[in-house]
């Protein structure tokens, strides 16, 4: 099976093509989001892979949380591809993808994603055989809230995601806290969890996929501003 994975939730655009294993990938900086940069990255990985776009069978998409405009661009491009080729679009939550990639057998996982305005999407997970399960509901916290949660929790924990944007000097040397990778969401992590969701069959139609932004956007504008013809045929 040939799949395309897309992540545009933060300051990087990340895309990857997988078969049985990774075939080609690209991660480029795009702090404010750009449809042309994303489409160029997708074209690049297809050229590197020597694969035909018509061989694609599924697209996995990072639906956030993260930067609103960047997420909207990723969604618009992914839906355009799926509409052009008649493919399923599997939405993957970035917090879940980070924790799934980092799971260990003995540490609780704190998953953190920067959503701007000095706020962070936050969720905790506990390891189970073969993966993780949520141990709290996702919430929006500021830096002080996160530091307080880390300080008050005496369980061993793994902190993943955008923790470098936090001032954690006072607690990072604690034996209960380990700052770890992954430090941001990439297409590889979206692929790893997305294929499990695809196998379950529990995902919506491509045109019903929604962003997990968790709050109102910084600026409201017409979705027409993001529309661009996605010519995805060779």
Residue 159 falls inside a structural domain: yes
66 and 100 inside one domain: no
pLDDT, position 30: 82
d(CA 152, CA 146): 10
**The model's pTM:** 0.91
77 and 154 inside one domain: no
Number of domains in the chain: 2
Domain housing 152: 94-179
Does 105 or 103 have the greater pLDDT score? 103
Residues 180, 160 contacting (CB under 8 angstroms): yes
Can you tell me the mean pLDDT for 95-107?
Answer: 90
pLDDT of residue 99 exceeding 70, the answer is: yes
120 and 172 inside one domain: yes
168 and 191 inside one domain: no
Contacts of 116 (CB under 8 A, 6+ apart): 67, 218
122 and 13 inside one domain: no
pLDDT, position 225: 47
109 and 82 inside one domain: no
Residue 232 falls inside a structural domain: no
Can you tell me the mean pLDDT for 47-59?
Answer: 93
104 and 81 inside one domain: no
């Amino acid at each position: 099976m040939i799949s395309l994975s897309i992540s545009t939730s933060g300051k990087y655009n990340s895309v990857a093509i997988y078969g049985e294993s990774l075939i080609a990938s690209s991660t480029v900086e795009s702090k404010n989001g750009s449809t042309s940069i994303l489409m160029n990255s997708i074209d690049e990985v297809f050229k590197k892979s020597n694969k035909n776009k018509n061989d694609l069978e599924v697209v996995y998409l990072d639906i956030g949380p993260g930067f609103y405009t960047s997420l909207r661009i990723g969604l618009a491009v992914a839906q355009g591809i799926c509409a052009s080729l008649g493919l399923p679009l599997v939405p993957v939550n970035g917090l879940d993808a980070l924790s799934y990639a980092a799971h260990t057998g003995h540490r609780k996982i704190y998953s953190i994603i920067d959503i701007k305005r000095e706020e962070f999407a936050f969720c905790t997970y506990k390891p189970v055989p073969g993966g993780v399960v949520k141990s709290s509901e996702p919430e929006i916290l500021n830096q002080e809230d996160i530091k307080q949660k880390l300080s008050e929790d005496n369980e061993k924990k793994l902190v993943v995601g955008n923790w470098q944007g936090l001032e954690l000097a006072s607690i990072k040397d604690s034996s209960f806290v380990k700052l770890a990778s992954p430090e941001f969401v990439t297409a590889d992590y979206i692929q790893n969890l997305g294929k499990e969701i695809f196998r379950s069959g529990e995902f919506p139609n491509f045109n019903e996929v929604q962003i997990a932004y968790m709050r109102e956007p910084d600026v409201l504008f017409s979705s027409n501003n993001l529309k661009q013809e996605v010519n995805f045929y060779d």
